[in-house]
Amino acid sequence: MTVPTDKKQQELKKLMTKLNILEKDLKIQSISGSGKGGQKVNKSNHCIYICHIPSNTEVKCQKTRSKESNLFFAKRQLCEKIKALQGIQTLKEQQIEKIRKQKQKRKKRTKNKES
């Protein structure tokens, strides 16, 4: 997987400023990962660990073999966690809500057909 585009990185920075997440408040470490991958995973430090000090929120990401893309994904996960802590609806919650509404709509249609 390649490094995320500049546009996506700019959007992430905007989201971080909107949520008041400063770079200086983040403790970023690159650690050795776990799981399948054998020698490559065991010898290299591609897994990213981020700790947001003010909220004491921790994120660990090992999605790809690239440090840069893992850093991007970890920051995005951190933003989602902080959104959830602040009570803002996260992307996952929006998707769940959308599916729930679609199911209700389908149920209503079938009920009307039967009547």
User: CA separation (Å) from 80 to 2, 77, 85, 102, 107?
Assistant: 22, 5, 9, 24, 31
Asked if residue 60 belongs to a domain, the reply is yes
Asked if residue 98 belongs to a domain, the reply is no
- Say what the alpha-carbon torsion angle 37, 70, 33, 43 is, to the nearest 10 degrees: 70
The reported pTM is: 0.77
Asked if residue 109 belongs to a domain, the reply is no
In the chain, pLDDT over 90 holds for what percent of residues? 57
Asked if residue 106 belongs to a domain, the reply is no
Asked if residue 114 belongs to a domain, the reply is no
> pLDDT tens across 5-55, in order?
899 999 999 999 999 999 999 999 999 888 887 887 778 888 999 999 999
Q: What's the average model confidence in pLDDT over 47-71?
A: 92
Instruction: Determine the length of the chain.
Output: 115
How confident is the model at residue 96, as a pLDDT?
A: 93
Assess whether pLDDT exceeds 60 at residue 2: yes
Asked if residue 111 belongs to a domain, the reply is no
In the chain, pLDDT over 70 holds for what percent of residues? 97
Number of domains in the chain: 1
Question: What are the tokens at 9?
Answer: 């990185």
CATH number at residue 17: 3.30.160.20
Asked if residue 105 belongs to a domain, the reply is no
Provide the domain limits for residue 10: 6-88
Q: Yes or no: say if 76 and 12 are a contact pair by the CB < 8 Å rule.
A: yes
How confident is the model at residue 87, as a pLDDT?
A: 84
Asked if residue 79 belongs to a domain, the reply is yes
Which one is predicted more confidently, 6 or 3? 6
